[in-house]
Amino acid sequence: MKFKEFNLRKEHILALQDMYIENPTDIQSKVIPKMRKGNDILAHAQTGTGKTLAFLIPILESIPDISSGIKSLIIVPTRELSNQITDVLKYFQKYRSLSVVNASGGHNITTQIQKLSSNTDIVVGTPGRVLDLLRNGNINFKNIDSFVIDEMDQILAFGFLEDVILLMNKTPRKKQVCMFSATVSQDVKKLSKQFMLNPIYLTAERGEVVLDNISQLIVQTKDSRKLSSLMYSIEKINPFMCMIFCNSKKNAEKLYSDFIHHQYKNMELLHGEMSQNKRENILKKFRELKVQYLITTDLSARGMNIEGVSHVINYDIPRDVEYYIHRIGRTGRMNQIGYAISFVTEKDIANMKKIQKRIKKTIPVVYDTNDKEREKMEYSF
């Protein structure tokens, strides 16, 4: 199936072509027709399944050429995800006169207010900033047709539920409500029944994960050699732009400290307990290639979109199979080739087998359990 079969506007097909996208993913094939019919939807979809376009395309198809006020509100848990969705919309703005406001922190609120004073079509934002604009009378929701909540599980985890309920109650009762979540807990299901009218439950096929552009490799080593194995590997590969994942803030801080001790200066540390401004500054340095390596954790990297990441390294193997997909999905974007390297010790072997079963792929292995093996190591992805 191709996107053309959805009978989309030609401008939207052109934008998809600019993104090198021709065929819809499983979740897109399921969501787009239902959303265009006006159904309320609860979609179970992880990062890497194409969920952003799954809700953006129906929204864009419903927006008229002549603006009549805000037609769609998209609420997300982080400013990084708000930035990411806004960036995707820019592809469509190239071909259509669409007004989009990124109502998230880290952006000048005066500029946001100025944009909202004109004919805005879509607002993408975080709960706190959107509520600030609403309370100050800078935003009008009376013409909203659709309310989308992305990463609903993270909305709950970050404690934004009360804000979302307030926003929901400030929008018209008659509207389409769609939720997207990587995990669908009982709390998420309960909220869907509270906010939606006869919601349709859709889920991405578990085999449907877009990892085709990512070459994967396992480096099997020992705990005692793990750090030196990582340092040896990055010296040999010299990645252009690399994210290194650890399972906890403590592990990330320890790895960063070890690198600094060994005189590595071209790297930064990012974790969830940093202030938002510090996080933004670190991400800015990484995006601008002022540092080559970013050591991070799963929580701090959730919803992050950084163009040009060439390599993802799993220094710690994630406990959850889905986190492996989230992590390596940071590379291999926009039709580019990406590389993912996982450092596996004896305790990780069983988990790594589960990951390979989940992604339906046997990942090649190189060995670095002793010096002789290291001499023979070849990074053939």
- Structure confidence at residue 306 as a pLDDT band (50, 70, 90): confident
- Final residue before a domain boundary, out of 203, 227, 258: 203
**For residue 55, what pLDDT is reported?**
97
Assess whether 81 and 23 both reside in one domain. Answer: yes
**For residue 115, what pLDDT is reported?**
84
**For residue 78, what pLDDT is reported?**
87
| 163 contacts: CB under 8 Å, gap ≥ 6 | 127, 128, 131
Query: Is 284 among the domain residues?
Result: yes
Query: Is 381 among the domain residues?
Result: no
- Final residue before a domain boundary, out of 143, 171, 203: 203
For residue 285, give both structure tokens. 């340095």
Cβ-based burial of 336 (10 A; exposed 0-12, middle 13-18, buried ≥19) = middle
State mean pLDDT over 361-380: 89
The percent of residues in the chain predicted with pLDDT above 70, rounded, is 95
C-beta of residue 54 within 8 angstroms of C-beta of residue 27? yes
- Final residue before a domain boundary, out of 203, 225, 256: 203
**pLDDT for 149-193, tens place per residue?**
999 988 988 889 999 999 999 999 999 999 999 888 888 888 888
Residue that the structure tokens 């290194």 belong to: 244
Q: Which domain holds residue 227?
A: 209-376
Taking the whole predicted model, whether its pTM rises above 0.85 is answered as no
- Structure confidence at residue 375 as a pLDDT band (50, 70, 90): confident
Total domains in the fold of the chain = 2
Assess whether 177 and 224 both reside in one domain. Answer: no
